[in-house]
Structure 1
Amino acid sequence: MIIAIDGPAASGKGTLAKRLAAHYGFRHLDTGVIYRAVAHALLTTGVDLKDEARAAQVALTLDSATFDNPALKSQTVGSAASVVSALPKVREALVAFQRQFASQPPGAVLDGRDIGTVICPDAAVKIYVVADPRIRAQRRTLEALSRGEPADEAAVLADILARDERDQNRPIAPLKQAPDAILLDNSHLDIESGVRAAIDIVEAVRAGRQRV
């Protein structure tokens, strides 16, 4: 069983996905980390983020052991990842990785921005998680401050809006809700309420399919 979690960054989808995976005993993949890892590698080596050939080469040689690097969570890397993710050859290189992960038993929960539309269009359950941009900015700012990083909420909000605009309008795999995805507005839900709402959605979909 594959559960696809999509939506804008800092909407809470990452936490929901991780908790859903733990609840059902499934494997979890934050696909945004993959693009962040590519972006971080390019930044640390001084390669132009729009150098598609070099970026694709990095994507093909990613080491999953680097996905836990705290540096990948920085705002700088996040913004760079949004640029890198728009490169067709990079996306092509990483699609196979994501699909292979999703196909492994006993099941998987993948979260990103094109899981239900491109990576796993046949996922059993698709949830599109959103939150008010201002709330997302507050969350992202608090996360940065908790890591000891300086953060200006107004600047974070501007970056979030710019990333959304870029991701929603990119020609390859734009950020959008799949027609059969269920919308979950996480603006005013705490972690536990959000997870419970997501589990309820999964169970409702499963029950509906069992009745067919």
Structure 2
Amino acid sequence: MAGAPVLTIDGPSGSGKGTISRLVAARLGWHYLDSGALYRAVGLAAGWSDIDLSDASALVRCAFDTQVGFVGDGPEEPRILVNGVDATDELRTETAGAAASAIAAIPEVRSALRDRQRAFRQPPGLVADGRDMGTVIFPDASHKVFLTASADERAQRRYKQLKEKGVSVTLDGLLREILARDARDANRAVAPLRPAQDAVCIDTTGLGIDAVVERVLELLPARGA
């Protein structure tokens, strides 16, 4: 539905874009797209099939073949099914994130997932969270946001999130992984991580979730217009 309004929320790992996007979508009554989950799902499915992450042709086939389903809506994180298997917890690991970042650098994989992401654009509107939502997938979006935060704060957030889920991680290890992923995402040849020229940049360092949600909603004065 090309006429449905879109709010894109891009940013690096740990910037809070997933949480903020879900809450904003719930407040607006709009649909929500977690584009990163699609890349993570393909990376996970590739691992299940022992596909080498450097084998572009095999990964493209995997991107087309992998079935991804989202269960639940509203502000809570949805459960994610990959080929019929609830893989939500596995998809949120740093290993899955690293695999997603690796395959996201392959142009053919990005192309294979482009139409799938655009299909989420349905009335009454869509909040799309990712790294190239405002620059590549929905360049005509009516509103665009780019969230960021210091690397140290993003590592702290991920540490707290993963520890609450019982995942064994170290803060130093997470900081190294975040810095490495930032470098990969910013320097890849296709769709590098950067704000769209018409995006509003919000530094979330030191800001609470509610404050960020309100800042984003202020960009939509008619709440969906």
Which TM-score tier does this pair reach, normalised by the shorter chain?
A: over 0.9
The answer to whether the aligner puts 1:200 opposite 2:204 as a matched pair is no
2:14 equivalent to 1:2: no
Counterpart among 65, 72, 91 of residue 72 in structure 1: 91
Q: Matched residues in 2 for 1:44 and 1:141: separation?
A: 26
1:181 to 156, 181, 199: 199
Q: Which runs of 4+ in 1 moved over 3 A?
A: none
Q: How does 1:13-24 map to 2 (within 5 A)?
A: 13-24=17-28
SS at match of 2:44: helix
Selected match of 1:101 from 120, 125, 137: 120
The 2-side partners of 1:6 and 1:79 are apart by 18
Aligned to 2:73: none
**Cα deviation digits, residues 146-178 of structure 1 (max 9, x gap):** 111110111110110110111101010000011
How many pairs were matched up? Answer: 205
Structure-1 separation of matches of 2:179 and 2:30:
32
> Distance between the aligned counterparts of 1:18 and 1:52, measured in 2?
32
Name the structure 2 match of 1:160: 178
Letter in 1 for 2:219: I
Query: Structure 1 residue 62: deviation in Å?
Result: 2.4
Q: Normalized against structure 1, the TM-score is what?
A: 0.93
Structure 1: stretches of 5+ with no match in the other structure = none
C-alpha RMSD over aligned residues = 1.4
Which blocks of at least 5 consecutive residues in structure 2 are unaligned? 70-80
Which deviates more, 190-199 or 121-130?
190-199
Partner of 1:62: 66
Task: Check whether the contact 2:59–2:109 (CA below 8 A) recurs between aligned residues.
Answer: yes
- Counterpart code for 2:56: E
